[in-house]
Amino acid sequence: MTGCSDSADSVATDPPLPVAPASDNQVPDDHSLPLDEYLEAGVPAHDRNWTGSDMQQAAEALGKLTKEDAALLPRYQSPQSGKLFDRITSAENLDLYQNEQSPIEVRVHEAILLMQSSNQILVLYATAFADQKVADSELIEMIGSTLRLSATIVQLINEFLPTLDKNDFTYPTRMESLDNVRKNLATVVIANLKVPTESHLYRTSELKRLLGYMQNTYPVILPALPEASRAEALQRLRTLIEDPEMQPLQPELKSLLKAVETSAEQAETESAKPTN
Q: What is the DSSP string of 152-200?
A: HHHHHHHHHGGG--TTSTTHHHHHHHHHHHHHHHHHHHHHHTTGGG-TT
Q: What Å distances lie between residue 75 and 33, 98, 130, 230, CA to CA?
A: 9, 28, 15, 34
pLDDT tens track for 118-152 = 999 999 999 999 999 999 999 999 999 999 999 99
Q: Percentage of the chain with pLDDT > 90?
A: 79
CB of 263 closer than 8 Å to CB of 214 = no
DSSP-derived letter for residue 243 is: -
pLDDT tens track for 230-254 = 999 999 999 999 999 999 999 999 9
pLDDT of residue 169 exceeding 50:
yes
Write down the pLDDT at residue 269: 62
Q: Name the pTM for this structure.
A: 0.88
Write down the pLDDT at residue 124: 98
Write down the pLDDT at residue 275: 55
pLDDT of residue 276 exceeding 60:
no
pLDDT of residue 76 exceeding 90:
yes
Write down the pLDDT at residue 5: 45
| Radius of gyration (C-alpha) of the chain in whole angstroms | 19
CB of 2 closer than 8 Å to CB of 105 = yes
